[in-house]
Amino acid sequence: MDALTLLRQGPVMPVIVVNDAAVAVDLARALVAGGIRTLEITLRTKAALAAMRRIRDEVPDAIVGAGTVRTRAHLEAALDAGAQFGISPGLTPELAAAARASGVPFIPGVATPSEAMHAQDEGFNILKLFPAEAVGGIKLLKALAGPLPELRFCPTGGIDINSAPNYLALPNVLCVGGSWLTPDDAIAAQDWARITALAQQASALATR
C-alpha cells in the first residue's frame, strides 16, 4: 500500500492519543465498527507503542500507524511495534531518508509552500497540512493547488465534523485528520458505543 491508497481508505483519519494500552483494542474495534479502519496512534504517550502492537495483533481489520514521528528512532520504534504507516508534524533530511528506507507509507507535515516544495524534492507528494486551521486551512489549500498541482493533502489540526466537509470538497484533499472521533472523556468512560457512533458519522462524509 502506498500513501495515496492509504488516505483513500476513508474520509477521516482519527488522531488518537492513548494513555492506557489496555483500552487500545476496544478503542480500535469501536472505530472499525463505525467504518474507520485507518488509525493514527500518536507517539505522545508512553503507552503508544504498546497500543499499536496490541491493535496490530488483535484487530486485523485496522490499519494502524504512528503519528508525531519526529526522528529516525521514532520511526524505527513504531515499525518494531507493527506500525503500517507513519505521519510526522514536519520533515527533516534524516527523517526523510529513514521514511524512504522504511518501505511503509509516510506522510510528512508541511505548513508553507516552501516546506511543501522541500517535501516534494524529498520524494513525497502526499502531505499532511499541519496545523491546518492555524496556517490558513482551506484558503491555503486552494492557493497551493495552482502552483503545486501534483500534491495531495491530509489537513489536520483544528478540524471537526462541521468543518471537515468543506475540506473534503477540495480537489487536493484526500482525507482529513481529527481528534474528535476519540474524545478523552469517552475513552475514560470506555463508552465504545459513542466512539462507534462518531466513527459512523465521520465515515459517512463524502469525498471526491
Active site residues: 40, 128
Residues 6 or more apart whose Cβ sits within 8 Å of residue 123: 96, 100
Name the one residue in this structure whose C-alpha cell is 528512532. Answer: 73
Give 50's DSSP letter: H
SS3 label, residue 78: helix
How far apart are the C-alpha atoms of 199 and 204, rounded to whole Å?
9
Could you give the C-alpha distances from 137 to 3, 8, 46, 66, 169, in angstroms and in order? 21, 20, 31, 23, 13
| HSE toward the beta carbon, residue 83, CA cutoff 13 A | 28
Residue 67: alpha-carbon gap to chain centroid: 7
Q: Which grid cell sits at 105? A: 507509507
How far apart are the C-alpha atoms of 167 and 178, rounded to whole Å?
12
Closest CA to 67 of 117, 18, 140: 18
